[in-house]
Amino acid sequence: MCGIAGHIDFAQSAEQGQIVLAEMLQSIEHRGPDARGQFEVSPSVFLGHNRLSIIDLSDDSNQPMIRGDLALVFNGEIYNYLEIREELIGQGVQFKTESDTEVIIESYKKWGRDCVNRFVGMWAFAIWDDAKRELFCSRDRFGIKPFYYIHKDGAFYFASEMKALKKSRLFQNRYNERVVLKALHLGPFGADSETHFEDIKSLVSAHNAIFKDGQLTTSRYWDIDFSNQCTLKSQADRIEKFKELFIDSINLHMRSDVEVGGCLSGGLDSGAIASVVGQKYPDVNFRTFNIFYEGSGASDVDERPWVNQITDKYPTLKPHFLSPTDEDLINAFDRFAYHQDVPVSGSSPLSGYFVMRLAAEHGIKVLLNGQGSDEYLAGYMHAFYRLIGNSLSRFNIPESISRMAHHSKDQGLGAKDKVALLARSLYSSITDEQGMAVGQLKRKFAYLSSSIAPDSLVNYPSLGQSRFTEYLYHATFSSTLPTLLHYEDRNSMAFSIESRVPFLDHRLVEYAFSLPDQDKIYQGKTKYVLRESMRDFLPSAIKNRKDKKGFVTPGEVKWLRGPLKHLTEINPDGLPMLDPNKTSKVLNAYNAGDNSNAKLVWRLATLNHWMKNNGFI
C-alpha cells in the first residue's frame, strides 16, 4: 500500500518538474513512509512513489520500478501474484524480485492492457511505456484504491489523493457545486469521475486510461455480467460454493511479509473474516481492533460483548479496544478531516479513524476489514423494500405477503412500521433506483439548494434487471460502497496501514450476483448465503444477529452538542451553494433541541469546516 504521483507536462522545465513531484509526494508521505522514489523516466515524464512495504521488503522492490522501456508506480496488492508469477516463469520470464509490483510489469509485457483482467486484488497504477510514448493507468474493479487526476491543456497530473494535485500548476481552487450538494443531501459521492473540486477528476472503478499526445481516453474493462446465472440447483450447494470462494479470498488476503490484523466489531461481516482466520490459521496470533463509547446509552455503542463471543471461541484472536474520550475527539477532528479531503457525511468514519490509530499504536501495517458484504448481499433494511417491490410489480400477492410477514416477524415490527414497509415497497414497485434516489433527496431532508434541481444530482441508469438486483448493483458501484471505500482508504493510510477487504474479491461478487434472490434474503434473514456458509465458523449468536451495526457512534447528537459543538457555529451566508433561509431554519431548530435533522446538521458542520479549510470562506 503506497502513495503514487506523477505528471506529464511539457510546459515546465525538468527542474520545476522535479520540484512539483517532490511536493506532491511530500503531501501524501503518510501513505508510504518506508521509501520514496521519483524519476524523470523520459523527458517531461515524472513518476513518484511513497512505499509502504508489505510484499518483498527489500529495496529491490522500491518504485518507480523500471524494466526496459517500462516504468511503473503502483498502489495496492495483487493477491494472486504468486499464481501469475508461476505462469510467467513457465513461459520463460525471469524475475529479479519476489514482489507483486514486478508481476504487474511482466504481465503488461505479456498481455498488454488486458493484464488487469487476470488480477485478483486492489490497485491504482500507472505504467509509462516509452516505446509507445503513452501512459497506461488502471484502477481496480471496485475502486478500493484511489486514482485522481487533472487533465488540461495537453498536460496530465495524477496522484493517490486530491491534496497532492493542489501542487499542480493546473489546479484552480474551485469547488464542484453539484458534488457538494449531492454529498450533503444523499451522503454518497464517490462513484463517478467528478469530485468536490472542479479541476480534479477520479478514474472510475473498473476503468483503464491512456494518456498519449496530450489526449486522455478511458475505457471500462470489467462489469457484472447478469447473463451468468448460477447453475447449481440446490441451495445447500450454492452456499457451499460461496463458502469455498470466501475462504479462498481470505487465504489470498492473508498473504503478506508483515503481520496481518483485523477490524472486529461484533457483526456478521468482520466476525466471519476473523472466525475463518481463527479456524484456518490456528498457529497465527491474529490481533483485532474495536472502538466503543462510554457514558449514557453506552450499550448502544459497545460491541465488546459480541466481540468476546468470537474471541472466546478462537483464543488465537487477540482483541484490543479503545474508548475515545472527548479530548481525543477534539484533538483528532482536524487531522481526521484533513486526511479525508472531503466533507464527511456521517460520524462513523471518525470511529474508523480511531480504529486505525489503535492498530498503528500496536505496530500493525495490514488490516482485514468487512466492507462490501452489505451492499451486494442485501445487508441493509432498504433492500427489503426492493425485494417486496419485486413481488408487487409482478402482482405476486402471496409472495409479497410472505416476504412482508417474514420481515415483520424477524424485525419485530409494530403496526405503524408495517404500514411504512408496505408504503415503501409499493413505491419501490413502480419506481426505479433513479426515482428512488431523487425521491429521497426531496423527502429525507429539507433540500437546501435553490439553484440546482435534485434530479440533476443523481445518475443511476436502469440495467434492465429487477428492482432488487439494481438496488444491490448501485449500492455496490454507484452509491454507498464507493463512499465507504474512500473513508476506509483515507483513515487507514493516515496511519500508514493497508486495509484489505476480502468481501471484494471480484470472483465472490460475480458469484453473488449470479445467485437467486432467496440466497440473499431468505425468510426475513439478510445475507442468508453468508450466514449459512459460516454456520461452522461463527458463534450462533453472531450468525443470527438481526440488528445492523458497524462502528456506531453517538456523533450527530452527543458530539455536536458536546466536544465538537464548535463545528455548529455556521454562518449560512458562508455556504453560497445553499439557500440561507432554509439553512438557518434547520440550524435554528437543531440549536433549540430538535434532533430530527441531526445528520443533516453534521453534514452542514463538516461542509462548513471543509469550506473554511480550503479557503472558500
How far is Cα 148 from Cα 202, in angstroms, rounded to an integer?
4
Contacts of 195 (CB under 8 A, 6+ apart): 148, 162, 176, 179, 201, 202, 342
CA separation for the pair 427, 436 (Å, rounded) = 8
Residue 180 exposed, middle or buried by CB count within 10 Å (0-12, 13-18, 19+): buried
- CA atoms of 614 and 159, how far apart (whole Å): 19
Place of cell 414497509: 421
- DSSP code per residue over 375-386: HHTT-STHHHHH
Distance, CA of 111 to CA of 462 (rounded, Å): 33
The answer to whether 263 is a known catalytic residue is no
The DSSP symbol for 457 reads G
Contact 587, 446 (CB under 8 A): no
Question: What are 368's strand-pairing partners?
Answer: 262, 500
Angle at 121 between CA 119 and CA 123, to 5 degrees: 95
As a whole number of angstroms, the distance between CA 362 and CA 503 comes to 25
Cis upstream peptide for 64 (omega within 30°): yes
Q: How far apart are CA 432 and CA 434, in angstroms?
A: 5
Catalytic residue among 2, 115, 137, 263: 2
Which of 310, 311, 293 lies closest to 302, judged by CA?
293
Strand partners, 135: 128, 211
**Residue 127 falls in which region: left (phi positive, over 0), alpha (psi -120 to 50) or beta:** beta
CA separation for the pair 568, 564 (Å, rounded): 8
Contact call for residues 388 and 400 (beta carbons, < 8 A): yes
Cβ contact 390:321 at 8 Å: no
Residue 90 identity: G
DSSP string, 154-200: TEEEEESSHHHHTTSTT----B-HHHHHHHHHHS---SSSB-SBSS-
- Pull the grid cell for residue 174: 474551485
For residues 177 and 117, give the distance between their C-alpha atoms in angstroms, rounded to a whole number.
35
Which of 293, 283, 351 minimizes the C-alpha distance to 317?
A: 283
| Catalytic residue numbers, as ranges | 2
